[in-house]
């Protein structure tokens, strides 16, 4: 409702002074009054329209991946975690784009000036130890979430798997040291 | 009494806060939106490691005791330290101690010398003493068994002097084992 207006009375055809106005709508009004009524009508229409939520997604349940001391440099070291990805689109579809802290978003960990490359894999199922290999800054599309609510506090507790692999080739060519880096995951509803 | 209970409650809250902060992860969670972004921190520690490979037996055949002789072989030593440094300790299996650089044919012994060079193709190097580390070597290897990059990286030299051979003339072959231990530096 717009303060100072009385659209109900006017639409009933009662003008100032109580004179009957046979016309319908606002055609009989002039100038600023007509504009105010039109604006009020527009607001009423907007308020009456059902709210339409745009495509939305959420990633949660993430925790850090600590490999600790990698005792064998001759074999791959793998860490996985099941996480929650929610998408409210009709198909529950989404894409994931990963980027690391290396040059150009490369998947590399750093220990001072030394670098250690790693692989990132993704699965739209939880509890997986392998998935689709991701490339930095490149969206992996066509994924579907089984989450029924954001943060997965109802329905499946997790809906996707994040897999990080330190390849033997990388481990054996890296210098000794403590490495760390940040992996950023961008979820886009589809 | 109430004060005591309040104190306990405060202590419990403090403990909860400590546990909560200790359990906090550096990972960040996304929020519901047109896109959602989360982050995880990945960490790993690679310990110092070395590897020696590419070793083969030294076979001198029949020696001429009037002339010093030696054999040099290229080997691969890999080190992953920041400097790719390493030290090497050689130990024989002869003599009374069982660690001397000495061969035996069952009745006689033949002493020998061991040298090490940190590069390939060397005919001489740093003389090693059994059981004592020689420090300060640097590897050029980029892979543990030199499967890529420089193939061998160092030289192992075994040497007989004329005096050693003259002291051990015999018709039966002399044999022994040389053990090489490499450690990262």
* Res. A19: pLDDT tops 50: no
Beta bridge partners of B46: A177
Please give, rounded to a whole number of angstroms, the shortest distance from the CA of B26 to a CA of chain A.
7
* Res. A30: pLDDT tops 80: no
> How far is residue B28 CA from its own chain's centroid?
40
Query: With an 8 Å Cβ cutoff, are A63 and B28 in contact?
Result: no
The CATH number for A153's domain is 2.60.40.1090
Instruction: Please check whether residue B163 lies inside any domain of the structure.
Output: yes
ipTM of the modeled complex: 0.77
- Are A135 and A154 contained in the same domain? yes
- The model's confidence at residue A31, banded by pLDDT at 50, 70 and 90, is low
Segment B91-99 mean pLDDT: 95
Instruction: Please check whether residue A79 lies inside any domain of the structure.
Output: yes
* Res. B2: pLDDT tops 90: no
Nearest residue on chain A to B35, alpha-carbon basis: A188
Q: pLDDT value at position B3? A: 39
Q: Alpha-carbon distance B123 to A92, whole Å?
A: 70
Please give, rounded to a whole number of angstroms, the shortest distance from the CA of B164 to a CA of chain A.
42
- Are A41 and A134 contained in the same domain? no
A87 neighbourhood in chain B, CB within 8 Å: none
Q: Between B86 and A39, whose confidence is greater? A: B86
8 Å CB contact between B71 and B157: yes
- Are A183 and A102 contained in the same domain? yes
- Identify the domain containing residue A157 by its residue range: 57-189
How many domains, in total, are found in chain B? 1
- Identify the domain containing residue B144 by its residue range: 50-184
Neighbours of A150 (CB within 10 A): 21
Q: pLDDT value at position A36? A: 55
Give the three-class secondary structure for A103: helix
Instruction: Please check whether residue A1 lies inside any domain of the structure.
Output: no
Q: pLDDT value at position B148? A: 78
Query: With an 8 Å Cβ cutoff, are B27 and A62 in contact?
Result: yes
* Res. A174: pLDDT tops 80: yes
Query: With an 8 Å Cβ cutoff, are A73 and B44 in contact?
Result: no
- Are A165 and A182 contained in the same domain? yes
Three-state secondary structure string covering chain B: CHHHHHHHHHHHHHHHHHHHHHHCCCCECCCCECCEEEEEEEEEEECCCEEEECCCCCCCCCCCCCCCEEEEEEEEEEECCCCCEEEEEEECCECCCCCECEEECCCCEEECEEEEECCCCCCCCEECCCCCEEEEEECCCCCCCCCCCCCCCEEEEEEECHHHHHCCCCCCCCECCCEEEEEEC
- Are A120 and A174 contained in the same domain? yes
8 Å CB contact between B38 and B27: yes
- Mean per-residue pLDDT over chain B, rounded: 88
Instruction: Please check whether residue A26 lies inside any domain of the structure.
Output: yes
- The model's confidence at residue A24, banded by pLDDT at 50, 70 and 90, is very low
* Res. B155: pLDDT tops 50: yes
8 Å CB contact between A120 and A73: no
Query: With an 8 Å Cβ cutoff, are B42 and A65 in contact?
Result: yes
* Pairs of residues, one from chain A and one from chain B, whose beta carbons lie less than 8 Å apart: 151
The CATH number for B84's domain is 2.60.40
Q: pLDDT value at position B153? A: 96
Neighbours of A133 (CB within 10 A): 12
Instruction: Please check whether residue B97 lies inside any domain of the structure.
Output: yes
Nearest residue on chain B to A174, alpha-carbon basis: B80
Q: What percent of chain B has pLDDT over 70?
A: 86
Instruction: Please check whether residue B23 lies inside any domain of the structure.
Output: no
- The model's confidence at residue B5, banded by pLDDT at 50, 70 and 90, is very low
Instruction: Please check whether residue A180 lies inside any domain of the structure.
Output: yes
- Are A105 and A147 contained in the same domain? yes
Instruction: Please check whether residue A2 lies inside any domain of the structure.
Output: no
Instruction: Please check whether residue B143 lies inside any domain of the structure.
Output: yes
From the list B35, B36, B144, the residue facing A172 with the nearest CB is B144
Q: Alpha-carbon distance B51 to B142, whole Å?
A: 11
Q: pLDDT value at position A52? A: 58
Q: Which of B148-152, B161-165, B166-170 has the lowest mean pLDDT?
A: B148-152
Question: A34-93: per-residue pLDDT in tens?
Answer: 555 444 444 444 444 445 569 999 999 999 999 999 999 999 999 999 999 999 999 999
From the list A69, A111, A114, the residue facing B47 with the nearest CB is A69
Residues 6+ apart with CB under 8 A from A189: A55, A56, A57, A87, A88, A89, A93, A94, B34, B35
How many domains, in total, are found in chain A? 2
Instruction: Please check whether residue B2 lies inside any domain of the structure.
Output: no
Nearest residue on chain A to B140, alpha-carbon basis: A173
Instruction: Please check whether residue B14 lies inside any domain of the structure.
Output: no
- Are A104 and A178 contained in the same domain? yes
Instruction: Please check whether residue B180 lies inside any domain of the structure.
Output: yes
Instruction: Please check whether residue A27 lies inside any domain of the structure.
Output: yes
Q: Alpha-carbon distance B152 to A144, whole Å?
A: 51
Q: Which of A175-184, B13-22, B35-44 has the lowest mean pLDDT?
A: B13-22
**What global pTM score does this model have?**
0.76
Instruction: Please check whether residue B117 lies inside any domain of the structure.
Output: yes
- The model's confidence at residue B162, banded by pLDDT at 50, 70 and 90, is very high
Half-sphere exposure of A151 (CA within 13 A, CB side): 5
* Res. B32: pLDDT tops 90: yes
* Res. A114: pLDDT tops 50: yes
Segment A127-154 mean pLDDT: 96
Q: Between B37 and B145, whose confidence is greater? A: B37
- The model's confidence at residue B99, banded by pLDDT at 50, 70 and 90, is very high
Q: Which of A7-21, B107-121, B165-179 has the lowest mean pLDDT?
A: A7-21
A56-75 burial, b if ≥16 CB within 10 A, otherwise e?
Answer: bbbbbbbebbebeebeebee
B40 neighbourhood in chain A, CB within 8 Å: 62-65, 81, 162, 182-183, 185
- Are A15 and A65 contained in the same domain? no
């Amino acid at each position: 409702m717009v303060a100072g207006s009385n659209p109900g009375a006017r639409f009933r055809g009662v003008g100032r002074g109580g004179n009957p106005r046979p016309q319908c709508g606002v055609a009989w009004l002039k100038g600023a009054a007509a504009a105010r009524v039109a604006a009020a009508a527009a607001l009423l229409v907007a308020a009456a329209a059902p709210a339409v939520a745009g495509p939305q997604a959420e990633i949660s349940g993430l925790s850090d991946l600590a490999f600790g001391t990698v005792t064998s440099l001759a074999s791959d070291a793998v860490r996985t975690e099941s996480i929650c990805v929610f998408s409210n689109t009709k198909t529950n579809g989404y894409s994931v784009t990963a980027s690391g802290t290396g040059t150009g978003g490369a998947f590399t960990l750093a220990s001072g000036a030394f670098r250690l490359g790693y692989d990132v894999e993704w699965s739209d199922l939880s509890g997986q130890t392998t998935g689709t290999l991701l490339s930095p800054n490149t969206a992996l599309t066509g994924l579907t979430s089984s989450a029924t609510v954001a943060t997965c506090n109802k329905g499946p507790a997790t809906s996707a798997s994040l897999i990080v692999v330190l390849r033997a080739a990388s481990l054996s060519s890296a210098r000794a040291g403590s490495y760390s880096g940040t992996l950023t995951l961008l979820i886009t509803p589809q | 009494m109430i004060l005591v209970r309040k104190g306990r409650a405060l202590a419990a809250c403090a403990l909860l806060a400590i546990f909560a902060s200790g359990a906090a992860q550096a990972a960040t969670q996304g929020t519901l939106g047109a896109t959602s972004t989360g982050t995880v921190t990945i960490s790993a520690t690679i310990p110092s490691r070395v590897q020696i490979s590419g070793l083969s037996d030294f076979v001198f055949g029949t020696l001429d005791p009037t002339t010093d002789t030696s054999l040099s072989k290229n080997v691969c030593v890999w080190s992953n330290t920041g400097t790719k440094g390493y030290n090497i300790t050689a130990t024989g299996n002869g003599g009374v101690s069982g660690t001397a650089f000495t061969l035996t044919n069952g009745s006689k012994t033949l002493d020998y010398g061991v040298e090490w060079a940190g590069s390939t193709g060397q005919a001489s190097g740093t003389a090693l003493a059994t059981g004592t580390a020689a420090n300060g070597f640097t590897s050029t290897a980029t892979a543990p068994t030199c499967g890529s990059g420089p193939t061998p990286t160092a030289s192992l030299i075994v040497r007989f002097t004329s005096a050693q051979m003259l002291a051990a003339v015999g018709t039966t072959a002399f044999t022994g084992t040389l053990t090489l231990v490499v450690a990262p530096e």
